[in-house]
Amino acid sequence: MSVSSRHRLALPLLIATLLVVSGCSVLPDPRQTVVPTDAGAASPPPVATTPDPSATPAQPGSESDCGGAPVSVDGADLDVVLTGDCPSVSVNGNDVDIDASAATVGAMQLSGDRMDLDAGSVDTLAVSGQDNDVDADRIGSLTVNGDRNEIEARASIDRVVVAGADNEILSAQLGEIVDSGQRNRVGAP
């Protein structure tokens, strides 16, 4: 074999070897450096939010008349007083005190921890979270998901569905009871 023949064979072999080796090399991910901006530097303008037309936000610390409209309460460490006809009330947060004893409540959803509700009659009440306390005159249908919630209806609760642990649901008169949790107490006070 001549020198030029060996060079012709070696060149493709060298190129193939380089291609294989370069395909196996590890390249670092591109690095991105973020430089902090001055607090006074331009920031994007605030975005205006449009309130949900289906729910009126309740004003914390004051009395809010539902006026036949759905009401929503969102936040923490709030005191809210609801009056009037409240077809639906949604409360999301922690450490919220709600006085709905002077309101007629259709459906109420409590989502959060350490809420305190005082109510007259509530047709449908759903409680999700931990360590909530509810005192009502009457509850039509009650659903509880969470732990260590205390619900008491002085007159009656027509239907109880409870999941979670260590909940206490008390009423002088109880209808249907579905308990799929652990260590829940459902009974008379």
pLDDT digits (tens, 9 = 90+) for 116-148: 999 999 999 999 999 999 999 999 999 999 999
- Amino acid 43: pLDDT: 38
Delimit the domains of the chain by residue range: 56-187
DSSP code string of 74-89: EEEEEEEEEEEEEEEE
Q: What is the pTM of this model?
A: 0.69
pLDDT digits (tens, 9 = 90+) for 52-91: 334 455 555 668 899 999 999 999 999 999 999 999 999 9
Residues 6 or more apart whose Cβ sits within 8 Å of residue 161: 141, 142, 143, 144, 178, 180
